[in-house]
Amino acid sequence: MSLLFRSRQQGAKQVKISGFRRFVMFWVHNVQQAVASLGELARYPMASLMTMAVLGLSLTLPATLYVVVKNTEAIGADWQHASEITLFLRKNLSQQEVSTFHKRLSLSNDIERVRWIDKNEALQEFREESGFGEALDALSNNPLPDVLLVTPVANKRGTAQAQQLAQQMRNEREVEQVRLDLDWLQRLEALLNLVRDGLLALAALLCIAVVLIVGNTIRLNINSKRDEIMVMKLVGATDGYIQRPFLYTGVWYGFVGGLIAWLATAVMILWISGAVTDISELYESQFSLVGLTFNEMLVLWLLAIGLGLLGSYIAVRKHVRTIEPQ
């Protein structure tokens, strides 16, 4: 590898290391440097832990929000499947016409089942249950329309598909009015979108903050080792060799920071799950908050490590090169 003395590497007593050995040693050195970086961090446990905690807690907020959004989405998805289209038919239709229309709808591929609420039966029911019987007798004809309750097939129950189906119904000659109880669902969805977008923006901001914090910590680290870096440069260390321990420090920040984020997210979810249980009890529903899955935890961890690495990379790229031996 000698640049100035090409014959040097062939000298019997000189450096004789095979390529394979160099490759193996490269990885061995990496592991050694990783462990050494960890040891270095352990020498100043409070300072290291504080940086790690900042990293971890910064990621806790978006992680917790993510869990909340995920659970709300799950509820929304459950309710979405219950969508039902109510058709109010024209009053001037004969019994025969309604029956035909009912049959025609039942045959449609998009519709699973149609329930017909006959206007006479409905009137009867209303008369019995409402207590307005005598008032109704005063009317000359039945004010209620025939009603068809249409349940779409499973794959037509999504918001968009159900809406499309409702639009089709609206165009039918027999139909006076169509009601699709999707408005609140759409509102929920819009709200979720808002929270999701906000979550993304928040997560992005916090990630940038994490990168800056790690970068700054590593920069201070580099400056405190100025003399050592100079000596290493004097005896022929490449920038890559000098940078590696700092990069590993960043990785360790992310590694431990990710664990802290897990822990803090779990505590946060435990904290709010009490309130969630209270709410679901009020609504008489069985609902419990689902925490982070294994994959999501892995993603969170890798994200933390990646951010730690990125922060330290930016710092070493900028600062190791500028330190030159005097």
Partner 1 sequence: MIKFEQVSKTYPGGFQALNNVSFHLERGEMAFLTGHSGAGKSTLLKLISMMERPTAGRVLINGHDLKRINARQIPYARRDIGMIFQDHRLLMDKTVLDNVALPLLIEGYSMQEARKRVQASLEKVGLGDKLRHYPMMLSGGEQQRVGIARAVVNKPPLLLADEPTGNLDPKLSMEIIRLFEEFNRVGVSVLIATHDLGLIARLRYRTLTLRDGRMINDGLQES
- CB neighbours of residue 74 within 10 Å: 12
162 close to 110: Cβ distance less than 8 angstroms: no
What one-character-per-residue DSSP string does 9-31 give? GGSTTS----HHHHHHHHHHHHH
CB of 30 to partner 1, least distance (A): 12
Choice from 236, 274, 282, 283 touching partner 1 (CB under 8 A): 236
Task: Tell me if 14 contacts partner 1 by CB under 8 A.
Answer: yes
Task: Tell me if 326 contacts partner 1 by CB under 8 A.
Answer: yes
Segment 203-232, which members bind partner 1 (CB under 8 A)? 227-228, 230-232
Beta bridge partners of 117: 147
Tell me how far apart the alpha carbons of residues 84 and 90 are, in angstroms, rounded to a whole number. Answer: 19
Choice from 10, 20, 26, 171 touching partner 1 (CB under 8 A): 26
Task: Tell me if 25 contacts partner 1 by CB under 8 A.
Answer: yes
CB of 194 to partner 1, least distance (A): 50
Which of these segments, 57-65, 238-246, 255-263, 273-281, binds partner 1 (CB under 8 A)? 238-246
Q: Angle at which helices 183-224 and 226-234 pack, to 10 degrees?
A: 70
Beta bridge partners of 151: 113
Tell me how far apart the alpha carbons of residues 122 and 73 are, in angstroms, rounded to a whole number. Answer: 37
Name the DSSP class of 173: T
CB of 237 to partner 1, least distance (A): 5
Task: Tell me if 38 contacts partner 1 by CB under 8 A.
Answer: no
**19 or 131: whose CB is closer to partner 1?**
19
Residue 313 token pair: 């990379």
Task: Tell me if 241 contacts partner 1 by CB under 8 A.
Answer: yes
Which of these segments, 23-31, 166-174, 275-283, 284-292, binds partner 1 (CB under 8 A)? 23-31
Tell me how far apart the alpha carbons of residues 121 and 155 are, in angstroms, rounded to a whole number. Answer: 32
Task: Tell me if 28 contacts partner 1 by CB under 8 A.
Answer: yes
CB of 6 to partner 1, least distance (A): 9
Tell me how far apart the alpha carbons of residues 228 and 235 are, in angstroms, rounded to a whole number. Answer: 11
Task: Tell me if 2 contacts partner 1 by CB under 8 A.
Answer: yes
**3 or 282: whose CB is closer to partner 1?**
3
H/E run at residue 147: strand 147-152
Task: Tell me if 173 contacts partner 1 by CB under 8 A.
Answer: no
Task: Tell me if 233 contacts partner 1 by CB under 8 A.
Answer: yes
CB of 294 to partner 1, least distance (A): 38
Tell me how far apart the terminal alpha carbons of the chain are, to the nearest angstrom. Answer: 25
Q: Establish how many alpha carbons lie within 13 A of residue 60's alpha carbon, considering only the half-sphere containing its beta carbon.
A: 18
Name the DSSP class of 171: T
**10 or 96: whose CB is closer to partner 1?**
10
Tell me how far apart the alpha carbons of residues 98 and 90 are, in angstroms, rounded to a whole number. Answer: 9
Choice from 167, 193, 223, 238 touching partner 1 (CB under 8 A): 238
CB of 220 to partner 1, least distance (A): 17
Task: Tell me if 318 contacts partner 1 by CB under 8 A.
Answer: no
Tell me how far apart the alpha carbons of residues 16 and 14 are, in angstroms, rounded to a whole number. Answer: 6
Query: For the chain, percent helix, then strand, then coil, each to nearest 5?
Result: 70, 5, 20
**70 or 233: whose CB is closer to partner 1?**
233
Task: Tell me if 12 contacts partner 1 by CB under 8 A.
Answer: no
Give the footprint of partner 1 on this chain (CB under 8 A).
1-5, 8, 13-15, 17, 21-22, 25-26, 28-29, 227-228, 230-239, 241, 324-326
